[in-house]
Amino acid sequence: MKHSRRYAAGVAIALIVSGAATFQLQRDSHHYLSAESADFVARFNPPTAPGSAQTRRELDELLALEHARSAADVAAARADRKTEIGRFYAALGLDAKHPPDLPQLRGLMQRVEDDVRPYVRAAKMEFRRMRPYVIEQSLHPCIDDVRRDLSYPSGHAAYGYVMTDLLADMVPERRRELRVRADEFARQRMVCGVHFRSDLEAGRQGARWLAAVIARSPDYRRDMNAARAELRAALRLPPLAPTAR
């Protein structure tokens, strides 16, 4: 009975989120992506059903992670709960505790995030997958700021992979470190029990498409050239030739 109530509550939340998301999609501004997200949504296969064997395996994986996670694991996952470009500074070789002021980079990546968010929201609305802890009552998520959101694809993973893909184009010398950090950033959502592994994979898949489309925007290339020069100067790396607009 408890499980049924929890699942029913999750369905109700999904309907509320869907209505709110439709309203928000109408208000979103766009910088480097168009307002049309249908091609993006069409790239995803539907997630497995709540009662499927695959979903059960993914839930068991999350239960095992919860059982094994330490206080330090929880603290690290909670620290990564926010989508902030500064979470990737260490992977770039910057001092994350005393970072340089990088207004061009921060502005660029905020605009990218603003563009990515409605695309991911459109996909979530299409599939309306419940969070793992709604389906499996034995899970105890270690963050609580996702309870009014849907699960597939992971917006957190999509954000991390888009950011690191674009940063790697600016600082190719740190490409490997950025990829490792993106995987870690995404996996924190499994550590906290708020995403299935397949949510993260879908987020990674979507991010590759988003980053490629964003990189083709003349406005993005203009803003990126300024941010890249700023970032490479802070890292004391030689400048790269400007990317053609």
- Which tokens belong to 111? 């605009």
* Predicted confidence (pLDDT) per residue in 205-239, tens digit: 999 999 999 999 999 999 999 999 999 999 999 99
Would you say residue 244 lies in a domain? no
Would you say residue 170 lies in a domain? yes
Would you say residue 229 lies in a domain? yes
Give the pLDDT of residue 50: 94
d(CA 175, CA 18): 36
- Which tokens belong to 8? 């029913």
Give the pLDDT of residue 243: 77
Q: How many domains does the chain have?
A: 1
Would you say residue 77 lies in a domain? yes
CATH of the domain at 214: 1.20.144.10
* Predicted confidence (pLDDT) per residue in 149-176, tens digit: 899 999 999 999 999 999 999 999 999 9
d(CA 226, CA 2): 54
Give the relative orientation of helices 71-79 and 175-191 as an angle to the nearest 10 degrees. 110
Burial of 141 (0-12, 13-18, 19+ CB in 10 A): buried
Query: What's the whole-model pTM score?
Result: 0.88
Give the pLDDT of residue 4: 52
DSSP state of 101: P
